[in-house]
Amino acid sequence: MSNEGVVEQSSAGLRELVKAGEEVIGYIYPHAPLELMLAHGLTPSLVRALPGVASGFEESLQTFACSYVRNLYNQRTNNQLPYLRALLFPSNTCDSLQNLTDIWRFRFPSDRVFRLSYPVSRYTNDDSGFIFLTQELKLLSKAIENILDRPFLESGYERAVSLIRDFRLDTQYLYSSRIVDPEVLSYAELARLVRQFYSTPLPVVASEIHDISVAIQESMESRGLSDSVLSVMTALQNRDFSSVKISRNDAKPRIIIIGGMIDPQAIASIINGIQGVTDSIITLDLLSFGFKSVFTPPVNEKGDPYEEMAKSILGAPGEPTQEGLTYRMNFLRDLVRAFDIDGIVICEQSFCDPDQFEAPSMEKAADKIGVRTVRIPIDPELSDRSRMEVRIQSFLESMSENEVM
């Protein structure tokens, strides 16, 4: 794989937006309030780690910085980021990002850096997390208005709520269809569509996704699989798998990919790079840039905008910052059983503390229900690509010889 090509392709959306004269605000954390940024007349674009980014200024970061934030920082120091009107960083998610924000502000004082603090958990005995995040969103909105001279416009907010709701419902349908029949759409294509929207959340991109979703709905209907898809989608939205209807039609392994800030397209590329294997073995991912953001409940347009945005963000499924360990492991167990999963690939971003805390619990939860797991350390540069491919291949072979296409 040519890294240069991947860098160009991956940052194309962001560059195109800037070239087209959009006022772009880059965001780092997948659970950023996109509706709020759009309501202020800014176009939010996900700034993510990319392969092919040369290191150079890593010594500025603390030793605990993960490979993901090192990559982001190097993009800035290597001038690989286009001009952004501002950047939104999260606070209270992990030490690496907290540190990155501080260093970024210090090293690049002319960059406009906003910070949104997330509450530790939504599972408190009161509404304190929700009240806290609502206030944080109001403060962010005021700061954007004062510093960038961009007021919050009701009309922009309404358009944004509808745009992002449509994107979520369409991609939720695509995710659910793949669980019923992983051949219906390649995982790489689904990951590409999701990435494209988070990089360029424009109506034209949502409309391409909608057309694909409609075509797949028609195909599933004609094959009599609509009810199954809807049962899966409802189960994932409500986190209740009691009514899921799935029948397995072939002997291929059904794998889920678990992790945090891992790029779904990178995973698809690794799996498709293994000889004799395609990404149709991936039934589902539980990644922050995939499932966890796609299945975040859409904002309700009827209530107070800040409260509704806070509720939506706090409804993101499966994030360790928001849901307790027991709840997440029970969800994993129920999902593995309902979707007839054979194996779990646990991806860990190199030097990511949250991923490394999480992995042993996932192994234990899978072990209890007799599902195999493999742990794969990964960095954005895919510097150990061959070893990752070999480990996944051996894992697949250990599950069932001759069953993987």
Q: Give the interface with ligand SF4 as residue ranges (CB under 6 A).
A: 66, 68-69, 94, 96-97, 260-261, 349, 352-355
Q: How many helices (H) and strands (E) does the chain have?
A: 15, 8
Q: Are 43 and 25 in contact (CB under 8 A)?
A: yes
Sign for the pseudo-dihedral over CA of 65, 68, 69, 71: positive
Residue number, 3 or 356, with CB nearest to ligand SF4: 356
Q: How far apart are CA 112 and CA 21, in angstroms?
A: 18
Residue 229: CB minimum distance to ligand SF4, A? 31
Residue 300: CB minimum distance to ligand SF4, A? 28
The secondary structure element, H or E, covering residue 50 is none
Residue 353: CB minimum distance to ligand SF4, A? 6
Q: How far apart are CA 339 and CA 181, in angstroms?
A: 11
Residue 292: CB minimum distance to ligand SF4, A? 12
Q: How far apart are CA 108 and CA 81, in angstroms?
A: 13
Q: Are strands 113-117 and 282-286 parallel, antiparallel or unpaired?
A: unpaired
Residue number, 68 or 291, with CB nearest to ligand SF4: 68
Q: How far apart are CA 11 and CA 79, in angstroms?
A: 13
Residue number, 68 or 114, with CB nearest to ligand SF4: 68
Residue number, 176 or 288, with CB nearest to ligand SF4: 288
Residue number, 40 or 70, with CB nearest to ligand SF4: 70
What amino acid is encoded at 221 in this protein? E
Residue 36: CB minimum distance to ligand SF4, A? 22
CB-count burial class (<10 Å; 0-12, 13-18, 19+) for 111: middle
Residue reference for tokens 């260093």 = 103
Residue 264: CB minimum distance to ligand SF4, A? 14
Residue number, 213 or 293, with CB nearest to ligand SF4: 293
Strand partners, 46: 27
Residue 94: CB minimum distance to ligand SF4, A? 3
Cβ-proximal residues to 59 (8 Å cutoff; 6+ apart), any chain: none
Residue number, 219 or 350, with CB nearest to ligand SF4: 350
Q: How far apart are CA 135 and CA 120, in angstroms?
A: 15
Residue 375: CB minimum distance to ligand SF4, A? 15
Residue number, 343 or 380, with CB nearest to ligand SF4: 380
Q: Are 362 and 344 in contact (CB under 8 A)?
A: yes
